Chains A and B, each alone.
Chain A
Amino acid sequence: MRVFFIRRFLFSIITVIGATAIVFTMSRAVADPLLLYAKPGGYGVSPEQTAVLKAKLGLDKPPPIQFVLWLGRVARGDLGETILDEKPVGRILMERVPASFQLGLYAFILATVFGIPLGILSAVKRGSSWDYMGRGVALFGQAIPTFWLAIVFILVFAVSLDWLPAATRGDGWFDFKHALMPTVTLAVGALAGYMRITRSAMLEVLDSEYVKLARAKGVGPQSVIWKHAFRNALIAPLTASSLIFVGFLAGSVLIENIFAWPGLGRAAIQAINNNDFPILQAITLFFVLAYVVMNFVTDVLYAVIDPRIRLG
C-alpha cells in the first residue's frame, strides 16, 4: 500500500512538472511574449520601456532559467499581474473560485443522485423500458453539445416561458432559481457518464460467479442486488466521481460563459477577449493542478476500496 501510494505521488509530481512545462512553453510559443504586452512600434512604446518591461518580466534570461524562476514564483503563490489593470492574478482567481465551486457541487449532486440509481435500475431491469430510458439518457447526454443545450434551455425557459432568469449568479449560494439552468446543463454529460459506468459495472457484477452462487443458494433477488452486487458495482462510479467533478471545472468554461456565471471559466473567456494572458495562464494552471490532484485522489481511493489494484 505504501509503495503504491509513494509511486502514485511521485508520478503526480512528474505530471505536474510536465503540465507546467506545457503551460510555460505555450506562454512562450509566440515569437516574443512581449507582443502580448506591447505591440512593437505601437503607440508610445519606446525601446527603453521595452527593456524595462523585459527585465521586469524576466525575459532577458534564457528560457530554462525563466521556467525555473516562474515555477518558483508560482509555488509561492505569485501568479503575476493582470495586463488590463495590473491587479494580482491570484486575488482574481480567489474571487472566482466560490462561484465555480458552487456550480460544480450542485451539478455533481444532481448527476450522482440521478445517474447512479438510473444505472443500477437499467442494469437490474435489463431490456425493460427503464433500461431503454436509461440508455436513451446516456446516448443523449453524450451526444448533445452542452452549449447548445444551454441555449435551448434559455430559449424555452427564459425567452418563451419566462420562468427562469437567463443569466448571472443572483444572490449567491442559495439562489436556486438562478442556479437551476446552469446546473442542469452542466450535469447532463456527467449524468450520462455515471449512468453508463454504473450500468456496465452492475451488469458485469450481476453476471459474475459469486452472484450466480448467491442466487443458486436461494438468496432473494433484493438481497442479491443490494448486498452482493450493488456494493461491488459502486467501485467504478465512485472512483470516476472525482474525475467527473474536475470535468465540471472544464465544462464550466462553456456553461459559465453562456449563463454569465461569475466563475473561473468565464474569467478565462473574458481574459481571451481582453488579451489578458496571465489570467488565462493562471486559470489553466489551476485546472491542471485540480486535475492532477483529483487523479491522485482517485487512484488512492481506488486502491483503498479495491485490493486488487494495490496488490496487483
Chain B
Amino acid sequence: MAQISSTGEQPAAILVPGTGTGSRNPLAQGWFLLRRYPIIPGIVIGLLIVVGLFAPQLSPADWEKQNLREFQHHPQTFFRADEHNTPVNEAEFDQETREGRNALRAAKGQYHGRFVFILGGDHLGRDVLSRAVGGARTSLKVAGIALAVGTLVGVAMAIVAGYYGGITDEIMMRIVDIWLGLPFLLLAILASVTIGASERTVMILLALLAWVPFVRQVRGDVLVIKTLDYVAAARIAGASDLRIMFRHIFPGTMSTVLVIASLRVGGLILAEAALSFLSVGIPDPIPTWGKSVSEGRSYLETSWWISFWPGFAIFLTVMSLNFFGDWLRDRLDPRLRQIN
C-alpha cells in the first residue's frame, strides 16, 4: 500500500484502481477486495431481496401458523433434532383405540422437521426464522414503495423548485424547512392513531419521511445544470419547460438521486421497525421485525431468541445498506460526503 507522509499526518490507505495490494498473498488480496468493494453488504442485501421476493417459498414454515404445543420452543440445531421431533410411523400407533389416535395426532403435531425452530419458536409456537423471513418481505415492500414514492415526489419538487427559482423555489424550500423542523416519530404516531394503523398508513408516513433529503441535494444539482450550455441549446431549439426538466435536467441528477436513495433506505427500515415496535405500525397478522422484537419483550427471561433474532436482522440489514450507500456515494459523488 502506498504511504505518503510528508505532512506528518497518517494518510488514509490509498487505493488506486487496478493496483491491488501488490501482494501475492491470497489472504491479503482477499482482504483488499473486501475493503475495496462492499462484498459482504452486497451479499446481505442480495440475500434480503431474494428472501423478501420468495418469502413464502423459502420460509421453513408458515409464519402465521401457531402451535401452542411448541410454545417458546428452544432453538434446535439442524443436526441434532429434539427427541420428540422424529418422523411419525403410523404403524406404531394403535389407531383402533381413541388413546392411540390421540397419541398419533400429538406425535404428528410435534414433528416439524429439521428446518423449523432453528432459531426457536415464539410465545405462540410460531417459527422465529419464518417470522423473520416474512418480516424481510414486509420491510422490503414497505420501505421500497415508500422510497419510490418519496424519491418521485422529492425529485420532482427539487427540479421544479430549482428550475423555476424565485417564489416557487422560496415556498418549496420553506416547506422543506418546516418539515425538517418537526419531530417525525411523534407525528407519525399521532397520525397512525388517528388515521388507523395499516400497511398503507405506514407506507404513506415513510414516504413523507423519505422525500425531504432529495429536495435539498437535487435542487443544488439542478441550479448548476440549468445554467449549462446544453440546457440553453435545448431551450433555443424550442423545447418546452417540461421537456427540459424531464429529458435534459433529470438525467444529470441521477447519481445524486441514487446515492441519497441508497443512504435513506436504512433509515426508512429503522423507522418502520420503530413504529411497528410501538404497535402503531403494521397491524397483525402481517409479520414485521419490529413487532416480533416487541412481542418477545415479555418473554426475555425464558426465551431470549424471540426478540433477539428479528432485531439482529434489522441491524444487519441497515448496517449493510448504510455500508453500500457509503460506497456508492464515494463512487458516484464524493461531494455528498457532507450529508448525514
Contact = CB atoms under 8 A, between A and B. Distances in A.
B181 A152 contact: no
Closest 8 A/B residue pairs (Cβ):
A148-B311, A143-B319, A127-B12, A143-B318, A250-B183, A29-B194, A287-B183, A284-B186
B10 interface: yes
Contacts of A148: 293, 307, 311-312, 314-315
Interface in B286-340: 290, 293-294, 296-297, 300-301, 304, 307-308, 311-312, 314-315, 318-319, 322-323, 337-338, 340
B303 to A, nearest CB: 11
B181 A144 contact: no
B7 interface: yes
B89 to A, nearest CB: 40
A229 B9 CA distance: 14
A19 B180 CA distance: 11
B207 to A, nearest CB: 16
B220 to A, nearest CB: 16
Contact of B273 (A26, A145, A196, A258): A145
Given A143-B318, A159-B300, A268 B186 contact: yes
A145 B314 contact: yes
B338 to A, nearest CB: 6
B187 to A, nearest CB: 6
Contacts of B190: 23, 26-27, 280-281, 284
Interface string A149-190: 001101100010000000000000000000000000000000
Contacts of A30: 194-195
A155 B308 contact: yes
Contact of B182 (A215, A253, A291): A291
27 contacts: A15-B178, A18-B178, A19-B181, A126-B9, A126-B11, A127-B11, A142-B340, A143-B266, A143-B322, A144-B315, A144-B319, A145-B274, A147-B274, A147-B294, A147-B311, A148-B293, A151-B293, A151-B297, A151-B307, A152-B308, A159-B304, A250-B185, A253-B186, A253-B278, A268-B189, A272-B280, A284-B183
Given A19-B181, A253-B186, 11 more contacts: A15-B181, A30-B195, A139-B323, A144-B315, A151-B297, A151-B307, A155-B300, A159-B301, A215-B7, A250-B185, A287-B183
Nearest to B312: A148
From DSSP, what is the main secondary structure of chain A's interface residues?
helix
Interface string B11-45: 11100000000000000000000000000000000
B249 to A, nearest CB: 26
A292 B181 CA distance: 6
Contacts of B274: 145-147, 254
B284 interface: no
Contacts of B311: 145, 147-148, 151-152
From DSSP, what is the main secondary structure of chain B's interface residues?
helix
A154 B182 contact: no
A140 to B, nearest CB: 8
Interface string A191-208: 000001000100000100
A200 B337 contact: yes
B295 to A, nearest CB: 11
Interface string A133-144: 000000110111
A89 interface: no
A284 B187 contact: yes
A264 to B, nearest CB: 10
Nearest to A251: B185
B8 interface: yes
A10 B227 CA distance: 33
